[in-house]
Amino acid sequence: MYDMKALYEATSVDDAVALRIAHPEAQIIAGGSDVLVQMREGRRAGAELISIQKLDELRGVKMEEDGTIRIGSLTSFSHITKDPIIQKHLLVLGEAVDQVGGPQIRNIGTIGGNTCNGVTSADSASTLFALDAIIELTGPNGVRRLPIQEFYIKAGKVDIREGEIQTGILIPKESYENCCGHYVKYAMRNAMDIATLGTSVNVRLSVDKKTVERARVAFGVAGPIPMRAATAENLAAGKPISMELAEAFGKAVREDINPRDSWRAAKDFRLHIAVESAKRAFIESVKLAGGDL
């Protein structure tokens, strides 16, 4: 059923790095929800695999001393959704990853695998972009950290260098403190489907809950990689909350995104969805933050 040349099991992060160097053509496998499917379809026939499944140090969510939230790359979607730190501070991320596949996929699929695939439709990606996430990679030269916007290079390609593995995803305190967000996934089916468009918004309101101090909006499947809509973000900053602002915010995202035609949806339809979903996610985010609309 699975045509593979070899399977190596890493016993530590250092061991995984050493295996990557010794077998540069080998594919990292964690949950296997993508790799094993591709092998079964014959797209990775004769592959070498490096399993990092036993590296428990890469699992879990924790709060670091400076308030940074660290998510281990082997943390499953279901664990992220249920984690108390996520529920308290990053509910929008739990909401987003809870829409990946079905329960079985969410139990084995990992956030590291979801981001390392480099696909724009990944349900975690737009929310991580909106949260200015930092990707941590460990390799022969030590630990390297880079903004998620730099991690995604082009469709299906991310900045993982020779010998490196992704070990964590970091959300700085500044990116989530006093913020509330909402994720909207539009798909052809209500469940078990890839996003036609994914939209993630988060806002921070003034103390009196009448003004938008800061807004972030990011999209999946609105371009070759996930992307932010800076025009809409700048438009909302410092403005009094209102339905008119929500309408303008939604329309402004058209200035920065570039969806394509595909068998799932035409470009014009994706643009229409982007405007509407950005507006709806903005409204819901404001309400979650205590604003009155």
pLDDT digits (tens, 9 = 90+) for 68-77: 999 999 999 9
Phi, psi of 275 (to 5 degrees): -60, -50
pLDDT at 64 over 80: yes
Rounded to 5 degrees, what are φ and ψ at 94? -60, -40
Let me know the angle formed at the C-alpha of 73 by 72 and 76, rounded to the nearest 5 degrees: 90
CA distances from 64 to 144, 146, 253 (A): 18, 18, 34
Residues linked to residue 170 through DSSP beta bridges, in sequence order? 70, 134
- What pLDDT is recorded for position 243? 98
Q: Residue 81 contacts by C-beta under 8 Å, 6 or more apart in sequence? A: 94, 95, 97, 98, 106
Give the pLDDT band (50/70/90) at residue 262: confident
Residue 146 pLDDT greater than 90, yes or no: yes
Phi/psi-derived region of residue 146, left when phi > 0, alpha when psi is between -120 and 50, beta in every other case:
beta
Neighbours of 234 (CB within 10 A): 11
Q: Given this model, what pLDDT does residue 20 score? A: 96
The SS3 call for residue 52 is coil
List, in sequence order, every residue forming a beta bridge with 135; answer none if it has no partner: 146, 169
On average, the pLDDT of the chain sits at 92
Pick the closest to residue 175 from 252, 61, 78, 70 (CA basis).
70
pLDDT tens sequence across 148-203: 999 999 998 999 999 999 999 999 999 999 999 999 998 776 666 678 899 999 99
DSSP state of 240: B
The CA-based angle 69-70-75, given to 5 degrees, is 125
Rounded CA gap, 266 and 134, in Å? 32
Q: How far apart are the first and last CA of the chain?
A: 55
If we measure between CA atoms, which residue out of 141, 148, 90 comes closest to residue 120?
148
Half-sphere exposure of 86 (CA within 13 A, CB side): 25
If pLDDT is split at 50, 70 and 90, which confidence band does 125 have? Answer: very high
Distance (Å, rounded) from C-alpha 139 to C-alpha 14? 8
Q: Compute the half-sphere exposure of residue 221: CA atoms within 13 Å on the CB side of its CA.
A: 27
User: C-alpha 287: how far from its chain's center?
Assistant: 23
| Percent residues over pLDDT 70 in the chain | 92
